[in-house]
Each structure stands twice: as structure tokens, then as C-alpha cells.
Chain A
Amino acid sequence: MTQVLVIDDEKPTLSMFRLFLAAYGYEVFTAQSGAEGLTIFKAHHPEIVFTDIKMPGMDGLTVLKEIRSLDQASQIIVITGHGDLEKAMEAMDLDASDFINKPVDRQALDAALDRAEKRRQLPAGMQFTVSRKPGSPDLFFILSGRFTGQDPDLLFEQITQNKINDQTVILDMDAGFSINRAGIAGLIRTIERLRGQNIRVVLKNVSCNFSRLFTMVGLDKLAEIREARVAD
């Protein structure tokens, strides 16, 4: 059974998580503080870790850093307060796997768990790749790996080397795709350039969490965002 660790200072939250995750069939560990969480992680090495960011004592980002340093492969999902964009970006920078917002709805939880499972299959620390999906009328590119600051130029070139004008480009984000702050900025720039060449951009298979994030940064005005549907 896959082990999940939930770290949050709110007891009610922990209780709910425990119920949920137990219902999903996970073995759940809970910790009320970052320190406690670290202790449990060291002891059990759970595959997935949910951690709240805003906690007294050791906060979520420190936990993230610590766990990351202990284990590159573990899927660390940070729980953010609603609309706390800054914290989310920080978490992405620290190579969090995903983030979800409080209050946590099922969809988000499922999406995060799903992504976590998929990513678990993938190797850790993937580089960014963009590849064209064959057999599609539009320009369909699959983005994978970690999209950082240097990568937008690459993306742009990749896209534009196909000599597309007045067409729609679809960017599919697979499970392995993750992005950091600089990456987002670059992505915005790229999309703007593309739009400058009258290329319409569609972002596909965006997990709902990322979708919220993109909305917050105003990407939804630059490109169409299509959310991934969660199976199950």
C-alpha cells in the first residue's frame, strides 16, 4: 500500500485527510507540525507527502526543502491557502510536485493524487522537452519535464520552426510537466511572442491546480486553458 504523509497544524484538516486518503486506499500518516512530519518521513519514507505551508514552528516550505534534500523522488504536494500565489510559486521553485488549495475539494485532491502517481512512474528531475504530437492537424506539442527559465526560448523555437502562422498551437502538459516561477514568466513571454505572430495558443491537459495558478497569473487571457479531466 502506498504511504501518504499529511502534515498540517489544523487537527480537523488532518482528520478529513485521513478519512479521504484512507477511503482511497492509502496508508495515512499524519503530523501536526513540520518537525513531527520530518521525523515520520525519516522513519517511514512515504511516497507522497501533503504538507500545509502556513504552520507555526517549522513551516511547509522548510519541510519541503528538508524532504527534497532527503529524497528527490518523493512527491511533495503543498497545501496552500486560497489565493496564496506567492507561497505556491515558492513551493514550485523548491521543486514541489504539485500544489492544492484549501479548501480542498475532491477534484483537486484526485488530480493531485493522480499526477503524483503518474509522476512516480516517471524518472525524477526530468529535463524539459517539447515534442510534436504526430497525426494532429493543429500544431500539437507535448511539454514534459521541468520547465524553467531557460526553456521558453527552446519552446518558442520548437514551435516556430514549424513555420506556423495564423494557426492554433496546442500545448499539452503531461504528467511529468512541472514549472517554476521563472518558467511561468518565460511561458508568458513565449505566448506573447507567439501571439505577436498571430499564433493562438491553447494549453491542454492542465491540471486544475495549475489551471488556477495560470489563471492567477493572468495566463488565461493570453491562452486558452483546457483542464485535464481526472479519470475515475
Chain B
Amino acid sequence: MTRFSRLTLKNKIFISCLGVTLLVSLIIALFTRSLVISSLTRELKNRGVGIAQSIADSARGFILTDNRAELTSLAYDARYGNRKDLVKYLIISDNTGDILAHTFTTGFVGPIKTIVKQQAVTDLSIKHLEVGHHRVFHITVPVTEGIYRVGSIQMGLDKQHIDHLIANLRWMFLSFLSMVTLIFFFLSHRLALFITRPISSLIRYTDRLTQGDFDIIDSPSFQSLKQELKTRNDEMSKLTDSFVKMTARLRDSTRGLKDSQRKYRSLFKSGPNPIFVVDKTGFHILDANPNATELFGYARRELVKMTLFDLGELDAASATGKPFDLETLVTRSKVRFFKKNGDPVFVNIHASPAEHAKENMILVGTTDITELVEKDSQLIQASKMANLEKMSAGIAHEINQPLNAIKMGSEYLCLMQEKKQAVPPKDLNLVLGEISSQVTRAAEIVSRLKTFSRKVDFSREVVDVNACILSVHRIIGRQIALQNIDLVLDLDKTIAPVLAHGNRLEQVFFNLITNARDAINERIEALNITDPGKIVIKTYPVTHLVGIDIEDNGAGIDPDITESIFESFYTTKPMGEGLGLGLPIITGIVKDYNGTITVSSRPGKGTVFTILFPVSTDGSLTKELNTP
């Protein structure tokens, strides 16, 4: 069977056709032969019986008169002419089985006498015997007069007669089969060729195609094949047509591909933005366009030895908290890269998988946004500075309070000293204690100012949000408590760290807490509601994120202005108070760390600020860069 499957299609068809034809012919032949043989045999027997019966009729009289000469004559007549081959022998017996006449001219053969004796008593019967070397049908026909048997005609029909016929038949069938075989040998061969030759041709052409020779369909040999097959108008011609169409399309698409490759190449070369070709695993730089080398100051051959991480800070945490994989379009904004000379360059990254990649490549486009970033930070700085005036009023007012207390306390002591009056100890304690604590207060205010104005460097650290909140609580908690406001911390210990700056986060929380305090105070005073103020700070994990809620039961924010509160310089506080910059700056800070801030509020009931930061994945993906 395997041998068969290893044959070519042509030979398979050929052999199958031939085999089937032979098989069918054989079956038909055998069937017909058996049919014919059985009918012939039946015919023979019938004929024999007929002859025997006619002889029986003629013999009756002679048997009764025991006219052996006539009986012998009858017997021999049975074998007259062409019956000679059919009737091997004829025996006329009396009713006891003794032979009255027979045709065994040269002598009895075998046990014929016993057979005759046996058969003489039977009714019409046909037995298959072998007499001498001949197979015969021994037919016995009783001779009766009235109802009584007077004798029998026993005849031997030469089976050989039939056997000859059968043999002839066999020969005939055999020659028929041979002829059929021969004819079908050629026919099936031709058929197989007819089917497979176009296929072989097409295979050859397909091979040429895979070698890139698309113009094969225009070649004259192919055209002639096509013509030839067209006349057939069958599956082969359809196949050829499809082949042509496919080739044409393939050719066009290959051309198109080559064109787009060229286009890509030129785009790559002349692209205004630095473009890197990077491998999917490990982000090794495979290629860089001239702009990249220009911007980063490395030569191309240097770049090709580097990975993308060598160039810049690619954080593990992305906007959606997923690790830095480039399976999908990924954009990363404001990533800091470094030139060869160490200058930082801020870029937006846009990465996409390469289209015609034989290898796994990614195209990484970078847009230099250094200026923008600087402008941005300048803007923030400027806005900060611009508001320092506004802020200074507030700061000034704030610092004035402790200063006043200190001044008045110390002046009082001087006064008493001049008046040579003793200061009552109670008063002295009061004054001195007050002086001390007010100094502390003043110092905090100063440091707050300092941190606020400090220009933040861009390298981020792994920060525990809970720690920030706790430190803020240390700064402001007592104050809040003194103002009869409950400050509740509900911090989930399982939250992951985030990438940020601790002191800036503290700024954020500080700001929000003070806003919350102010809101509560506003509610208590303006609306004269006296139930105790409550600020709840809650941290909780969200998939890939850390969530912080700062909730107060203060005056709430009018729904109309929830959008505007994040705008710069918007404040509801009177002039000189409130920074007006708080929420915008907070928002800026939050965004810097790829977080989001939202507010939800019910006027008169309370407000919740919700901040979400992406978690920092394990530090191995982060490349911490030191500030240059």
C-alpha cells in the first residue's frame, strides 16, 4: 500500500483505472461464465433427457419383443451424426437391469454394468459419473408400458462436450479480458496523462514562480499551455486561469511590497523625527535613521550596539499599568533620553510592530519634546513664580501670625522688665511656650514655601503612598485636630508602591487636606451647620493602580464649577488667601506621575477627591538614572 501511495498521480490514476477495469471485467466474466455454464449444463441434460425419452418411446416395443438387434440399432441411432459427441453411450436395459442393447462397441467401461443395474430401477434421474476417463451425466429414463416399468434407457451425456464449450468460453473470456486489459492499458495511460500532464506543467511553472519569476505567465510556453487547456474547458483550465490570476496578483503585490519598502526606506532615512528599528526582545537597536544619530549625537554604528534602555529611561509602568511590551501600539510621553554628551532629551515615544517583519521588529519613533517640556516646566515654574506674589500674601499672612505672637510676647516681657514688674510665672510660661511654638510654626511655613518653589528633578523614585500621607499627617494633623476636625486615615497596607517623588506627593496631599479643612470650615461657618468636620483619607489597591481618596464633609463644590476648579488661578477663597494654584498644580503633579485626579461633590454635604496612580512594577524594568 505504501508503494502505491508513493507512485506519481499519473501512475496512480493509471493503475487504479486499469485495476478497476480488470476487476470489473473479471467479475462480469466469472459471473457470465457461471451463468452460461449452468444454462449449458441444464440444456445438455434437457437434451439428453429428450433424446433418451424419444428412444424410450421407440424402444418400448422392441423391449417387449426382446428384439435386441432393433434395440441395438436404436441405441446406435442415438449416437448418429453429431450426437456422437454428446451421447457417450446408450444402454437399453430390461427392468432387472440386464443390458439388452448398448453402444459400447469396444467394450464396457468401468463399473458401467453395476451402474446400469442400480439405475435400472430408478425413475428419471441424472447422475454425475465418471466412466472411463470421461465425466458424464448418466441419464436414466424408465421405459414404461402403462404403469409398469419394462426397462430403462440409460444414457451417458459427455460432459466433456460441455467442458469443451466451457473451455472455449474460458478462452474467449480470457482473450476478451486480455484485450480489455490491453485497451485499457493504453486508455488509462492516456487518461492519466491527460489529467496529470497539465498538473505537472503547472507544478513546473509554480516552481518557477517561487523562484520569483513572475513573468512566467507571459512566456509563450505557458500561453500555449493555457490555450491548450482552454479548449478543454474543465477543471484544469479553471485551475490554469486561477493560477494566472494568482500569479498576476502575486506579482502586483510583490511589486507593491517592493515599492512600499522603498517608500519606507526613504521615509526612514528622511524622516524628520528620529526613528529606531528595535527588536522585540531586549529592545536592541537594529537600525536608526540619520535624524536619530543627529539628535542623540551617537554614530549609527554606536547606536546599533546599544539597546533602547541605554539611551533613556523607559519605565516599567505604562499608562495602563502594563509592563513595557510592544505588542500593541504604545505611546509613552515625556520620557527622558540622554544624548551622548549627557544632555537630557525629552521625547514622546510611538512604537508599532514592523509590518513586513521577517524578524520580530518594532519601529520606535521619537519626537523631541525637550523644548516643550522645558517650556512646560518653565510654565509651571513661571506660574508658580507668578503666583508667588499672590501666594506671598497668603504666606505673609500666615507667617505674620506666629511672628506677631512672638513679637508681642517678647515685647511684653521687655515691658515688664522695664516697669520692673515681675511677670507672673503663669504668664511667663504662656509667653515663652507660645514664642517657641510659633517659631516652629513659622519654620514650617517657610519650608512649605521652599518645597513648593523647588524645581523638581525628573527622576522618579519608588514611593509608598501611605508613608507620604503619614508624614503629611504629622505636619498638619495636629492643626486640623485643633480646629475640631476629625482626620481619619484608612490606609490599605497591601497597596503597591508608585513611581513619583515623595515630597511632591506630600505637597499634593497637604494641599488637598487643607482644601478639605477649608471646605469644612466654610460649611461650619457659612452654613452654620455644627456637626463635626471629618476628613477621611483612604488608600486602596485597584488593578495595576493605587487609589487615594480624600473625603471631607465640607461645603461641597457646586457642580457647575467642578470643572473649573482644576483651572489655573481659580479660587473661591478671598484675595490673599488660598493659592488658587493648588488644584492645577496638584493636577500637574498627578499627571506627571501618569496618574488621574477626579472630584465628586455634593454641595452642602461633602467632597471626595480621588487620585489614581499606576503601580510601579518591580524595579528591574526601571532604569534609574542619576541626575547628570
Which of A's residues lie within 8 Å of B, judged by CB?
Answer: 10, 12-13, 15-17, 19-20, 23, 54, 56-57, 59, 81-84, 102-106, 109
Contacts and interface: CB of A to CB of B under 8 A. Distances in A.
Interface stretch (B155-163, B170-178, B269-277, B395-403): B395-403
A23 B526 CA distance: 36
Contacts of B404: 10, 12-13, 16, 102-104
Contact of B434 (A12, A56, A104, A106): A12
Contacts of A105: 407, 411
B401 A84 contact: no
Given A104-B407, A105-B407, A12 B397 contact: no
A13 B431 CA distance: 11
A59 B404 CA distance: 18
B407 A103 contact: yes
Contacts of B376: none
Given A23-B419, A57-B525, A102 B431 contact: no
24 contacts: A10-B401, A10-B405, A12-B404, A12-B405, A12-B409, A12-B434, A13-B405, A13-B408, A16-B405, A16-B412, A17-B408, A19-B412, A19-B430, A23-B416, A56-B521, A81-B393, A81-B396, A83-B396, A84-B397, A102-B404, A103-B403, A104-B408, A105-B411, A106-B411
B427 interface: yes
B525 A56 contact: yes
B411 A20 contact: yes
B188 interface: no
A180 B347 CA distance: 58
Nearest to A33: B525
Contacts of B414: 106
B402 A12 contact: yes
Contact of B397 (A15, A19, A20, A54): A54
User: Which 5 A-B pairs rank lowest in CB-CB distance, beginning with the nearest?
Assistant: A16-B408, A12-B405, A103-B407, A103-B404, A103-B403
Contacts of B437: 12
B415 interface: yes
B405 A23 contact: no
Contacts of B415: 20, 23, 106
A103 B400 contact: yes
Contacts of A10: 401, 404-405
A13 B411 contact: no
A102 B408 CA distance: 9
A103 B412 contact: no
B438 interface: yes
Given A13-B401, A82-B400, A109-B411, 16 more contacts: A12-B401, A12-B402, A12-B409, A12-B438, A19-B431, A23-B412, A23-B416, A56-B521, A57-B525, A57-B526, A81-B396, A84-B576, A104-B404, A104-B411, A106-B411, A106-B415
